[in-house]
A and B are shown apart, each in its own frame.
Chain A
Amino acid sequence: MSIKGKAYIAGAYEHPLRKAPDKTVAQLHYEVAMGALADAGLSKSDVDGYFCAGDAPGLGAFSMAEYMGLKLRHVDSTDTGGSAYLVHVSHAAQAIAAGKCNVALITLAGRPRSEGSSGLVPRNFGPAPDAPFELPFGSVTVNRYGVSAMRHMYQYGTTSEQLAWVKVAASQHAQHNPNAMLRDVVTVEDVLSSPMISDPLHRLDCCVVSDGGGALVVVSPEVMRSLNRPRIKLLGAGEAPKHLNGGKMDLTLSAAAWSGPTAFAEAGVKPADIKYVSIYDSFTITVVIQIEDLGFCEKGQGGRFVADGNLISGVGKLPFNTDGGGLCNNHPADRGGMTKVIEAVRQLRGEAHPAVQVKNCNLALAQGTGGSLGTRHCSATLIMERE
């Protein structure tokens, strides 16, 4: 069974706040849920499927279902880190296609900025079997991406200047987003002269830490036809985990190399057909590696591909993250997948900021990797079409 054409994204909402010290995480989940439902023209009582990940407080999906008063016949709390919300869109489409629900609500929210999260502090994921062999070595988010970047540079000749272009493109877009956390346009030189956090990643190679959240509403074709919103149809999806494989691994590769082809095959389209991409940009290197693995350029050529403004809307061949992405706009709950889908929906609807709106944007891809490129992650790819 394919999800192609079986479900639509009817609602999308990004919380406008980037710092929310006076709101609880549950409250933020509620606010984004109501925002996405209002965007779709639906109400809480229409929801019969609910999806959330590890950022939702409490046990699985039940605590938030109770808090919001949802009456459900389908729940899914799959957690793949920051890519979970792309996985949820795919799982929601599967559930809708199987008749398990008609209106699926997906929420994400968190307050890492108010709570003092940092890419230099170990995050405790419980008694994982790998932990005793990793925590003693100071394995933290930023160096787990640093090692992938260093190997990519060694193997393919990628440079810090090329990585910096990813941030430059994001900042060009963020200047038009009034809610973006960082709205100043930066240059390659600005990135290279920012402090080195963990080789070869400078401060401006890293995404922001922000509070907030987002939500999506995925619906059946019947429900979509009853709504007065542009029809954003799901064409294909892929998901795949990658890990250290018993000590035999390639850290220049992401699992997008597997989730991407699955999604393209289901959608029946090629990378060259895609008009806009949202790519999870936890760090600049994350974008370069995923662009290669999705087939937008040859493996190892990602650095050259992103250079000279090739990701800037209206300038380059592959406009990306036109909201400013995680590098400049928003990275709520330290999980970047949700905002990737939201901006892809804006582009397909023609509702992105006019300065960054891609012309005739009828086909878009959203891509995320949750976890870390340098250890273990789960990649998720979504391909969507404006009907």
Chain B
Amino acid sequence: MSLAYKDRKIAAPSISPDTKAFWDGCAAGKLLLKQCEKCQELHYYPRPSCPFCGHGETKWIESKGTGTIYTYSVTRRVEVPYCFAFVTLDEGVTMMTNIADCDLDSVRIGQRVRVVFKPTDGGPPVPMFTPA
């Protein structure tokens, strides 16, 4: 079996002042994460406060953009099938994403992937991943 990845129309994500840097990063081809100024833990999705220790200051750091597929589900009974997935970045946080630019039937848990940015409908691109 094979199921070629196809681009689908993606609604623009809504941007707030506290996440604008993330989306500007995507537009510049960079995947940004948040790190707590106090306990140093990384988290995702990005927040101005730390969900672990509760500290109110966090800073942006740039991810290498590489990781491993934690889990996935190819959603098939829709107009354009897609691979819904969670990728664990090498920095240690796991993020919701899609797997793109490959045979979707070849996707496996544990597979190495790297970030690619896919356009949205009138908004910044969003981070997806493709086999490394």
Specify which of B13, B77, B85, B126 is in contact with A195 (CB 8 Å cutoff).
B77
B26 to chain A, nearest CB (A): 10
With A137-B96, A247-B43, A247-B44 in contact, is A132–B15 under 8 Å at CB? Answer: yes
B118 to chain A, nearest CB (A): 8
Would you call A147 and B84 a contact (CB within 8 A)? yes
Would you call A151 and B10 a contact (CB within 8 A)? no
The stretch of A107-115, A138-146, A310-318 that contacts the partner chain: A138-146
Chain B residue numbers with a CB within 8 Å of A201 are 73
A387 within 8 A of B: no
Q: Which of B8, B13, B15 has the most chain A CB within a 10 Å cutoff?
A: B13
Would you call B72 and A137 a contact (CB within 8 A)? no
Would you call B84 and A139 a contact (CB within 8 A)? yes
B128 to chain A, nearest CB (A): 8
CB within 8 Å of A: which B37-54 residues: 41-45, 47, 51-52
With A131-B14, A137-B126, A151-B71 in contact, is A247–B76 under 8 Å at CB? Answer: no
Would you call A246 and B11 a contact (CB within 8 A)? no
Measured in the bound complex, the distance between the Cα atoms of B12 and A131 in whole Å is 11
Would you call B11 and A143 a contact (CB within 8 A)? no
B70 within 8 A of A: yes
Specify which of B47, B75, B95 is in contact with A138 (CB 8 Å cutoff).
B75
B27 to chain A, nearest CB (A): 14
CB within 8 Å of B: which A243-263 residues: 244-249, 251
Measured in the bound complex, the distance between the Cα atoms of B93 and A148 in whole Å is 17
Residue in A closest to B118 when the chains form the complex, CB atoms = A136
A269 within 8 A of B: no
Measured in the bound complex, the distance between the Cα atoms of B80 and A304 in whole Å is 35
Residue in B closest to A133 when the chains form the complex, CB atoms = B45
Chain A residue numbers with a CB within 8 Å of B14 are 127, 131-132
B92 within 8 A of A: yes
CB within 8 Å of A: which B72-100 residues: 72-78, 82, 84-86, 92-98
Chain B residue numbers with a CB within 8 Å of A129 are 45, 47
A70 to chain B, nearest CB (A): 38
CB within 8 Å of A: which B1-48 residues: 8, 10-11, 13-16, 19, 41-45, 47
A218 within 8 A of B: no
B40 to chain A, nearest CB (A): 13
Measured in the bound complex, the distance between the Cα atoms of B79 and A367 in whole Å is 35
A150 within 8 A of B: yes
Would you call A249 and B95 a contact (CB within 8 A)? no
Measured in the bound complex, the distance between the Cα atoms of B78 and A199 in whole Å is 13
B61 within 8 A of A: no
Measured in the bound complex, the distance between the Cα atoms of B77 and A138 in whole Å is 13
Specify which of A127, A130, A196, A198 is in contact with B45 (CB 8 Å cutoff).
A130
Q: Which residues of B contact A (CB under 8 A)?
A: 8, 10-11, 13-16, 19, 41-45, 47, 51-52, 70-78, 82, 84-86, 92-98, 109-110, 120, 126, 128
Supplied contacts A132-B15, A142-B73, 14 more A-B pairs, CB within 8 Å:
A136-B10, A136-B11, A136-B13, A136-B120, A139-B96, A143-B75, A146-B73, A147-B71, A147-B84, A150-B109, A197-B75, A199-B74, A247-B43, A251-B70
Q: Could you show 27 A-B contacts with beta carbons less than 8 Å apart?
A: A120-B77, A120-B78, A127-B14, A131-B13, A133-B95, A135-B13, A136-B10, A136-B120, A136-B126, A137-B96, A138-B98, A149-B73, A150-B109, A151-B70, A151-B71, A154-B71, A154-B110, A196-B77, A198-B75, A198-B76, A199-B74, A199-B75, A246-B41, A246-B44, A246-B51, A247-B42, A247-B43
Q: Which residues of A contact B (CB under 8 A)?
A: 120, 127, 129-140, 142-144, 146-151, 154, 195-201, 244-249, 251, 375
The 4 A-B pairs at the shortest CB distance, nearest first, are namely A146-B73, A247-B93, A246-B43, A247-B44
